[in-house]
Amino acid sequence: MNKQEYVDLYIDWFFNESVKDIFNLFCKGFYRVCDVSILSIIRPEELEQVICGNPELDFKELEESARYEDGYTEESEAIQYFWETIHEMNEEDKKKFLFFLTGCDRAPINGLSITT
């Protein structure tokens, strides 16, 4: 066996064989949720967003669609401080905040706007 064959076999084992069982279970669950025929009409980037969510966090969009209750309005001092603080956060802190709120650090496919 030469070096190239060894490297090829190792790469195949690492990326294919070692994860085959887990990947097959993922595929089974994925195909249970998604119709296989849909895969032929969507781009890989769209599939990634379906699986992983949208990595773009537009908190301005969330602010513009937010609804307030119990006497709060967008002019309320606490609300203004809240949004000021959010917009001053760096991307990593925004992801952590979103994870704290939702359990996920990515936005839904349609973004952060609140729709009913």
Alpha helices in the chain (DSSP H): 3-15, 20-33, 44-52, 59-65, 77-88, 91-102
- Most confident range, picked from 26-35, 56-65, 80-89, 100-109: 80-89
Residues 47 and 80 in one domain: no
* Residues 31 and 17 grouped into a single domain: yes
Domains: count for the chain: 2
> Are residues 44 and 65 located together in one domain of the fold?
no
Same domain, 25 and 60: no
Q: Domain of 81?
A: 54-116
> 107: helix, coil or strand?
strand
Q: Are residues 59 and 102 both part of a single domain?
A: yes
Residue 116 has pLDDT above 70, yes or no: no
51-55, 81-85, 96-100 — most confident range:
81-85
